[in-house]
Amino acid sequence: TVADLLDAGAGVCQDFVHLALGLLRELGVASRYCSGYLFVEKSGARSVEVETHAWLEVLLPTSAGDGVWVAFDPTNRGLVGDRHVKIGHGRWYSDVPPVRGIFRGPAGGELTADVVMTRLDTDGATLPPR
């Protein structure tokens, strides 16, 4: 709950996004939940195994009278950048979970999946290690 999050003073990305969505929507600001991956470089590696990540987008007005979606990552306290890869957006987590489906296997079976991201140069070539 929000009370649990505030009492603990800590949470995961989904917690921070849901809290921000609630506050923004209470103020009448259009906002949406984003699900994806965040590339976090480890020891100079260009390919890393990644976990799912969440952030939000807010519809901000422009001088032209329309709006532009701006993405914020409350967990990392900043704007979303080229290390974020969005796989979907919706109202809440339940609209865009990173994995959805049916497992058809033995009752004692276990399903695992790994996601590896590789950072590429603008021409598509793998960047050399630093």
Length of the chain as a residue count: 130
User: Residue 25's pLDDT is what?
Assistant: 95
Q: Looking at the DSSP assignment, which residues form a beta bridge with residue 35? A: 54, 88
Q: Identity (one letter) of the amino acid at 97?
A: P
The tens digit of pLDDT for each residue in 51-103 reads 899 999 999 989 988 899 999 999 999 999 989 999 999 999 999 987 777 77
Across the range 35-50, mean pLDDT stands at 88
- Inter-residue contact 95 to 33 (CB < 8 Å): yes
d(CA 46, CA 38): 13
Residue 28 pLDDT > 80, yes or no? yes
- Inter-residue contact 23 to 74 (CB < 8 Å): no
Identify the band that residue 130 occupies on the pLDDT scale cut at 50, 70 and 90.
very low
Lowest mean pLDDT among 14-23, 40-49, 74-83, 88-97: 40-49
The sheet that has 78-79: what strands, in order across it? 78-79, 67-73, 52-61, 31-38, 84-90
User: Residue 34's pLDDT is what?
Assistant: 97
User: Residue 102's pLDDT is what?
Assistant: 78
